[in-house]
Amino acid sequence: MKTITIKRVYDHKTADGSYRILVDRLWPRGVRKIDLQIDEWNKEITPSPELRKWFDHKKERFEEFSRLYIQELMAKDQEINRVRSIAKNEGVTLLYGAKDPEINHAVILMNYLLK
């Protein structure tokens, strides 16, 4: 498998040679679609709206959020395998909009994809 990385949308708008997937359910605020060079916007592998709203990026909820999000990902084998197959041939960058680079769903998703 080639590399899978995560990058914050606001810091990395331009193409970098990898297959770029926006992994947020909502479009990032203040970013024009024409300015964000992505190959796909994958809402299928994002946390459910209910889980995302409950988590609310609160550090004390991250462990439970991680467990619940992984349960959601386990039910999405077909989409997870599709992204993994892309990563076999080229690097994949998962783009997210959250402020915290360590406490966000993209970290969990990247680790899950690399398993």
**pLDDT (tens digit per residue) in 49-77:** 999 999 999 999 999 999 999 999 999 99
Whether residue 7 contacts residue 112, with contact meaning beta carbons closer than 8 Å, is answered with no
For residues 88 and 92, what is the distance between their CA atoms, to the nearest angstrom?
9
What is the predicted pLDDT for the residue at 15? Answer: 83
For residues 53 and 57, what is the distance between their CA atoms, to the nearest angstrom?
9
What is the predicted pLDDT for the residue at 13? Answer: 78
What is the predicted pLDDT for the residue at 1? Answer: 67
Phi/psi of residue 26, nearest 5 degrees = -105, 145
What is the predicted pLDDT for the residue at 12? Answer: 80
Domain ranges of the chain: 4-114
Instruction: Please list the ranges in the chain whose pLDDT falls under 70.
Output: 1
Least Cα distance to 80 among 105, 103, 110 occurs for 110
